[in-house]
């Protein structure tokens, strides 16, 4: 499976993640909701990993553990803050693009600072993402 195809599948999952957070937010404490999302991910991950455990090398470098733990901290705050924003009545049509578009912009900008190539079209796309998120935030 190609990397781009996997990225598209992740985008689809992220879109549904946004919808599910919106509909869960008024019915659950935000901290508990964030924990439950993570617990669900752990259970599903274990179901997928356990049958393959004999054939997998789980860690090849301790840096991997550090970065995954940092990603886990970020994942908690993504869940908690998204649930909190939606619980305050933020519409999906505003929150989704701001959360997802903002994450795209931040990841792309950091990628550039880490030495990834940058061209006019990449800068234009980033500008449009940031502009779109700013417009949605202002006119929410």
pLDDT digits (tens, 9 = 90+) for 73-104: 999 999 999 999 999 999 998 898 889 888 98
| Average pLDDT over every residue of 4-19 | 92
Q: CA angle 13-118-15, nearest 5°?
A: 10
pLDDT attached to residue 140: 66
Say if residues 83 and 24 touch (Cβ distance below 8 Å): yes
Kindly indicate the confidence band of residue 50, based on its pLDDT and cuts at 50, 70 and 90: very high
Question: How long is the chain?
Answer: 140
pLDDT of 54 above 90: no
pLDDT of 13 above 90: yes
Nearest C-alpha neighbor of 21 from the set 98, 92, 97, 102: 92
Q: What percent of the chain has pLDDT over 90?
A: 62
Q: CA angle 108-129-119, nearest 5°?
A: 50
Sign of CA dihedral 90, 92, 98, 102: positive
């Amino acid at each position: 499976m190609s990397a781009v195809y996997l990225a598209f599948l992740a985008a689809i999952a992220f879109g549904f993640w946004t919808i599910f957070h919106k509909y869960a937010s008024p019915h659950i404490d935000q901290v508990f909701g964030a924990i439950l999302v993570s617990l669900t991910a752990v259970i599903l991950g274990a179901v997928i990993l356990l049958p393959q455990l004999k054939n997998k090398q789980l860690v090849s470098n301790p840096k991997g553990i550090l970065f995954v733990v940092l990603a886990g901290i970020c994942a908690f705050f993504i869940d908690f803050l998204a649930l909190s924003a939606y619980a305050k009545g933020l519409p999906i049509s505003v929150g989704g693009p701001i959360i997802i578009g903002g994450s795209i912009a931040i990841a792309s900008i950091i990628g550039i600072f880490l030495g990834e190539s940058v061209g006019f079209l990449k800068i234009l796309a980033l500008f449009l993402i940031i502009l779109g998120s700013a417009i949605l935030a202002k006119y929410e």
